[in-house]
Amino acid sequence: MQAAKLPFRSGWSWIQEGGRIFRQQPLAMFFWGLLTSLFITISSAIPIIGQMVLIAATPVLTFITLCACRNISKGRQMMPGMWLEPLRDKAVRRRLFRLGLAYLGCCMIAGFISTLPFLGQLSTAIGDGSNIDPAVLFDALLPPLITFAILYILISALFWHAPALTGWHGIRLVQALFYSMVACWRNKWPFLLYGVSWGAIFVAVQTSGSLLTSLGLPAGVVQLVLMPVNIVVVAILYCSFYPTYMSVFGVNYERAYDAAGSET
């Protein structure tokens, strides 16, 4: 698998392309964004187990989104029965299941590595829990959070393209992770722009909510206004995954797709 090396501006082009895909079928992708947001919210609310399920399911959600974006880009109308078509192949399900377990394992290892060296500081900051100093707690939390953030960037590079590589190409897990890491490293500057741009977009949305609150709107009304905006932003984020893959590995996928004569 030969990964293309793209210019810095591609990071913003991926977001623009994600927006274009969303505009082609906004209702379908809004619905998917709503379901995904609900799944994330419910899973995150369940301690440990729910969060583990969410992490393990991420490659499956990503692959479903990639296949939907593929259909939309080809001019196919996404119908309800088409969303789960990518998972009908038993071999694809098995590969994605293994990928999800590997992703969960890597995140857990990163969590242990970023927490264990700082347990003493965290225990001292928390104490018996009756009189916690926010400033001391923040100072204790900062090193493990920074460590985890660095480790998670590496994990994201490993798994970013892996769902498509395993689902569409049938590439083995270790090879898919290797190809994904190489592709992300070759395009580290576009991905930097991509990440910074999405960070700025999310901050802008939250800042607009704070601005509306400061103007006197009730918090409930602000939440009601921001809810569809957040869903659209999440949907476009997921849509932008497809151009990040196609611009790097697109030629290889098109050849495989044409040779097979059908699509997962």
Instruction: List the domain boundaries for the chain.
Output: 10-253
The token duo for 53 is 């399920």
Dist. CA 76–CA 69, nearest whole Å: 10
Residue 137 pLDDT: 80
Residue 18 pLDDT: 96
What number of CA atoms fall less than 13 Å from residue 248's CA on the CB side?
Answer: 29
CB atoms within 10 A of CB 32: 24
Residue 150 pLDDT: 95
Burial 202-224 (b: 16+ CB within 10 A, else e): eeeeeeebeebeeeeeeeeebee
Count the residues in the chain: 264
Q: Using an 8 Å Cβ cutoff, are 243 and 13 in contact?
A: yes
- Collect the ranges in the chain with pLDDT lower than 70: 1, 128-130, 251-264
Residue 252 pLDDT: 55
Residue 259 pLDDT: 46
Residue 58 pLDDT: 95
The token duo for 203 is 């901050």
The token duo for 146 is 């920074």
Dist. CA 205–CA 210, nearest whole Å: 9
Torsion angle in degrees (nearest 10) through CA of 100, 182, 184, 238: -30
Q: List CB contacts of 103: < 8 A, sequence separation 6 or more.
A: 55, 56, 58, 59, 155, 159
